[in-house]
Structure 1
């Protein structure tokens, strides 16, 4: 396990990240070049060795409901790989939904669907550039490879289809 100082030295080696001291001796690192609303790459690095890195736009990482990965037991190579992937995902541009094509497509899925839960929260699911993106307002929440994965996730979270 890397020490707090070792983790901070690794994060400090990324010139695109800006260190922000927060409460209780914890440290965050922000990526001001993010093309998304999300700017915090590393969150709550603590002298006890705990800390989190944002992987909400990545596949293959076990994240919490905020898209964060606990890096307590990460090696330097693992941490650098995750940081590189996180920064790359936040650097990617995700355009608005494409304009409808004039040609008819067979059984094409809707470009956007609206989902709501019993508390009245609404999410929109959009198909863009071969992926399904889930938005809360303009903020990207998650990305899925298939509409089936997205719909399964929404159902598990208590959302149902409102509008196609």
Structure 2
């Protein structure tokens, strides 16, 4: 396991991150240019070596209910990689789900009650419509998809 000082050195090597000292000697690092509501890339890095990296939109990582990846036992290579991916996921023009065909402009989603919602990519946002009524607007496909799935809808 990397020490707190080793983890700090790795994280501080990312010039796009800004250090924010918080309580109990913990440290956060923000990505100020984030295109999403989230700015925290590194959360509560603690002198005992524990800490988290924002990974809600990352594949292949176990996340908690806040979308955070615990990096306590990460190697230097693993820590650098997850931080790079986290920053990329918060950057403009990032494709959140590489398996998704982003040339699609419209999708239909149905629920068990045979109701249909339409997901439309408009002006770099993802809008969900119930008929002609706007039901929600999301900055990424994954956020819109998550909303639809939580509401019991599946892609038609």
- Smaller-chain TM-score bracket: 0.5 to 0.7
Pairwise CA distance, 1:109: 2.9
1:24-67 deviation digits (Å, cap 9, x = unpaired) = 11000000011111100000000111000001111111111111
Instruction: Say if 1:37 and 1:139, in contact at 8 Å, map to a contact too.
Output: no
For residues 28-43 of structure 1, the aligned pairs below 5 Å read 28-43=28-43
Alpha-carbon distance in 1 for matches of 2:118, 2:45: 33
SS of the residue corresponding to residue 29 of structure 1 reads strand
Partner of 1:117: none
Partner of 1:143: 142
SS of the residue corresponding to residue 107 of structure 2 reads coil
User: TM-score, length-normalised on structure 1?
Assistant: 0.64
Instruction: Say if 1:56 and 1:142, in contact at 8 Å, map to a contact too.
Output: no
Instruction: Say if 1:55 and 1:86, in contact at 8 Å, map to a contact too.
Output: yes
Pairwise CA distance, 1:93: 3.3
Partner of 1:98: none
* Residue 109 of structure 1 pairs with residue 102 of structure 2: no
Partner of 1:63: 63
How many equivalent pairs are there? 130
Instruction: Say if 1:56 and 1:141, in contact at 8 Å, map to a contact too.
Output: no
Q: CA 1:5–1:92 in structure 2 vs 1: closer, same or farther (change >3 Å)?
A: same
User: TM-score, length-normalised on structure 2?
Assistant: 0.67
Calculate the aligned-residue CA RMSD, in Å. Answer: 3.9
Pairwise CA distance, 1:134: 10
* 4+ long deviations beyond 2 Å: 124-129, 137-142, 150-153
* Residue 83 of structure 1 pairs with residue 100 of structure 2: no
Partner of 1:4: 4
Mind listing any 5+ residue stretches in structure 2 that lack a counterpart? 95-104, 111-116, 129-135
Instruction: Say if 2:121 and 2:127, in contact at 8 Å, map to a contact too.
Output: no
Q: CA 1:49–1:153 in structure 2 vs 1: closer, same or farther (change >3 Å)?
A: farther
